[in-house]
Amino acid sequence: MEQNKEDNNVEVSTKTNKNLIKEIGGFIKEILITVVIVFLIISFVVQPTTVDGSSMDPTLKDKDQLLIEKVSQRFSGINRYDIIIFPYSKEEEKYFIKRVIGMPGETVNIVNGEVYIDGILLDEPFELDLIEDYGSNILPAVIPKEHYFVIGDNRNHSKDSRYTDVGFIYEDDILGKGFIRLWPFNSVGFINKF
Task: Give the CB-side neighbour count of residue 149, counting CA atoms within 13 A.
Answer: 27
Instruction: Calculate the alpha carbon distances from 98 to 28, 38, 185 in Å.
Output: 41, 27, 22
Choosing from 55, 158, 161, 177, which is the catalytic residue? 55
Choosing from 61, 72, 76, 98, which is the catalytic residue? 98
The DSSP code for 65 is E
Query: Cβ atoms within 10 A of the Cβ of 124, count?
Result: 15
User: Is residue 61 flagged as an active site residue?
Assistant: no
User: Is residue 98 flagged as an active site residue?
Assistant: yes
Distance CA 74, CA 70 (A): 8
Catalytic residues: 55, 98
